Amino acid sequence: MAYTNDDEALQQWPIECRDDALQYLKMSHEMVKKLLEALMGNLGVELDDSNIDVFIGKKMVNMNFYPTCLNPELTVSVGRHSDIGTLTILLQDGIGGLYVKVPEEADMENKGEWVEIPPIPGAIVINVGDMLQIWSNGRYKSAEHRVRTTSTKSRVSIPIFVSPQATQKIAPFPQVVEKDGVARYSEFVFADYMNSFFGNAHDGKKSLEFAKAN
Ligand SMILES: O=C(O)CCC(=O)C(=O)O
Ligand SMILES: [Fe+2]
């Protein structure tokens, strides 16, 4: 059922924030569904009640607090990484400090550079996660990002990590593999991917090496 996980997620929130948090979760659920319908539809994969849970198996809400740091140059804050799930919905306050790396292989002047994602009032950031990269056989790229602190202002961000269930088997969709003529990733269980990710220090998009086809 759509909101079973939201109830679980809500238990982490202070009681006076739960109404707002529930609105945020419900809004994110509908938005993620629409985004995935478009993204997967584009690859020839129809989303319906029978397979939606593969993509939105679990939602986890985090609350990140970044205190001021006297010498931000000496801290990592959040090191460069990609989120491992399907999509991440990120609400950030007005302080700034979130950077995304323009992929080296992008056909853009600033390829390889870190670009700040400025806070825009009323806007949220959506990150593609590693699982979407794998399902799409590498057509959608997970976003490599990092966070820097400042010496003057603390910062708060609230990501919702949308991911498969731990027991979900993951592999590139056959529809895409057929078109591409090659499977760029091998099949695995999501729990094993998580163990590999959390068992290693953040190192950009190295997390994806776990799934690379030989
Ligand atoms: O604080 C942010 O803007 C992003 C945090 C983040 O990347 C994460 O929690 O995975
Ligand atoms: Fe992240």
Read off the pLDDT of residues 90-99 as tens digits, 9 standing for 90 and up: 999 999 999 9
Query: 2-204: what CATH class?
Result: mainly beta
Evaluate: CB of 142 within 6 angstroms of ligand 1.
Answer: no
Evaluate: CB of 23 within 6 angstroms of ligand 1.
Answer: no
Q: What is the average pLDDT across 13-36?
A: 86
Instruction: Please report, rounded to a whole number, the percentage of residues in the chain having pLDDT higher than 70.
Output: 95
Evaluate: CB of 149 within 6 angstroms of ligand 1.
Answer: no
Q: What is the pLDDT of residue 25?
A: 82
Q: How many angstroms is it from 82 CA to the middle of ligand 2?
A: 6
Helices (H) and strands (E) in the chain, counts: 6, 11
Evaluate: CB of 21 within 6 angstroms of ligand 1.
Answer: no
Q: What is the pLDDT of residue 46?
A: 93
Q: What is the pLDDT of residue 7?
A: 67
Ligand having the closest approach to the CA of 127: 2
pTM of the model: 0.91
Ligand having the closest approach to the CA of 93: 1
Spell out the residues 6+ positions from residue 125 whose beta carbon is closer than 8 angstroms to its own: 88, 89, 90, 92, 98, 117
SS3 state of residue 189: strand
Ligand 1: which residue has its CA nearest to atom 1? 157
Q: What is the pLDDT of residue 39?
A: 97
Q: Would the pLDDT of 176 be above 80?
A: yes
Q: How do residues 103-133 score in pLDDT, each as one tens digit?
A: 998 889 999 999 999 999 989 999 999 999 9
User: Counting atoms of ligand 1 from 1, which one is nearest the CA of 127?
Assistant: 7
SS3 state of residue 197: helix
Domain ranges of the chain: 2-204
ipTM for this prediction:
0.98
Evaluate: CB of 84 within 6 angstroms of ligand 1.
Answer: no
